[in-house]
Amino acid sequence: MNETRAAISLEGAALERGQTIKMVCPFCHGGQSGEAKFYLTKDYDTGILLYCCHRASCAANGRLGGNHGGAVAAAPKHKPFTPWDDSWFRPITAESVAGVGLGMVLGYLDKYPWTAKLRTLQWDHQTRRLATPYHNYMGYKSGYVLRSLTGGKPKTLIARLTDREPVIDWYTNGEDVQNDRLILVEDQQSAARLAVSGNKSLALLGITPSNAMLEKVFDAEPKKVWIALDPGAERAAFKIHRRLFAIVDTQIALLRQDIKDMGAEEYNAWLESYGFSRAS
């Protein structure tokens, strides 16, 4: 079995019958922006894995399992990875965000003030999006999350600088971080807020992380992992729990509201309820 089929099988092993997930295509790797348009479904009746990439330039599709020997469509011709060109990014000024409005950008930063404390935010005037870098465990920049503030679709794009690192973002805040535990969250804003409070956190940048992404959890050598996904993602949280708990002490921290959107009082009460470091 080739590596691509193996990757699809690993993802499918975590699926329940009748379930579908969306992920980055293992054939085309989501193109330059790392789009997650690869749909993987486990057939309810047969357990066969059906997959299809909805990127027009790829369109890989096929099946694994069943009476056809697990035949899969031929992978498209490999294209060399091209890093995202971030040379056109600009500091956030009235001039650089013209057409979107400095007030809208500053409004976002006022809503999530901790986001810019641990990251240098820039403006991508080509896509007219806020560019927030993401980093690997060693602190090296791996790419950017490009966020639309005007309702553009998709809401976020991934601009990768390297194809050697999964699209996840590590957040720490100096020497006072509790290194014995790690909190997994969905987005950068929540991860940054936790880190500013003195908690080591990892933004999964989605709720269907691959095995390669979850393997990176162990780079931090945590004694305990907490999974704190947004409300409505409890099923995904339990799936991640099942993939980690046999290797490391793993618990789920339930939320009534996204971490990034909690009021200060509610946020500190939630931190205390799980024994996490409190915001200063």
User: What pLDDT score was predicted for residue 266?
Assistant: 95
What integer pLDDT is reported at residue 77 of this predicted model? 54
pTM exceeds cut of 0.85: no
Domain-ending residue, one of 13, 35, 68: 68
Q: Residue 44 has what pLDDT?
A: 74
* Domain assignment present for 15: yes
* Closest listed residue to residue 256, CA positions, set 226, 230, 225: 230
pLDDT tens column, 146-189: 999 988 888 889 999 998 888 999 998 765 555 688 999 999 99
Which runs of consecutive H residues, i.e. helices, occur in 19-174? 102-111
Mind listing the pLDDT tens digit for each residue in 73-109?
444 455 678 899 898 899 998 888 887 888 999 999 9
At position 72, the amino acid (one-letter code) is: V
Task: Give me the CATH number covering residue 217.
Answer: 3.40.1360.10
Question: What is the percent of the chain with per-residue pLDDT over 70, rounded to a whole number?
Answer: 91
* pLDDT for res 69: 44
In whole angstroms, give the CA distance from residue 93 to residue 115: 17
State the chain's mean pLDDT as an integer: 85
User: Which of 68-72, 80-84, 128-132, 208-212 tops mean pLDDT?
Assistant: 128-132
**Cα dist from 78 to 23, 26, 28, 39, whole Å:** 19, 11, 7, 20
pLDDT for the residue 48: 87
pLDDT for 72? 42
Q: How many other CB atoms are found less than 10 A from the CB of residue 62?
A: 18
Q: Look at residue 211 and tell me whether its pLDDT is greater than 70.
A: yes
Domain closes at, from 68, 100, 118:
68
The residue range of the domain holding 35 is 3-68
Same domain, 223 and 264: yes
Residue 266 lies in a domain: yes
Q: Which of 65-79, 178-192, 204-218 has the lowest mean pLDDT?
A: 65-79
Question: Over the stretch 237-266, which tens digit does the pLDDT of each residue have?
Answer: 998 999 898 889 999 998 999 999 999 999
For residues 197 and 50, what is the distance between their CA atoms, to the nearest angstrom?
43
Could you say which of 109, 142, 160 is where a domain stops?
160
| pLDDT exceeds 50 at position 200 | yes
Q: Are residues 208 and 269 in the same domain?
A: yes
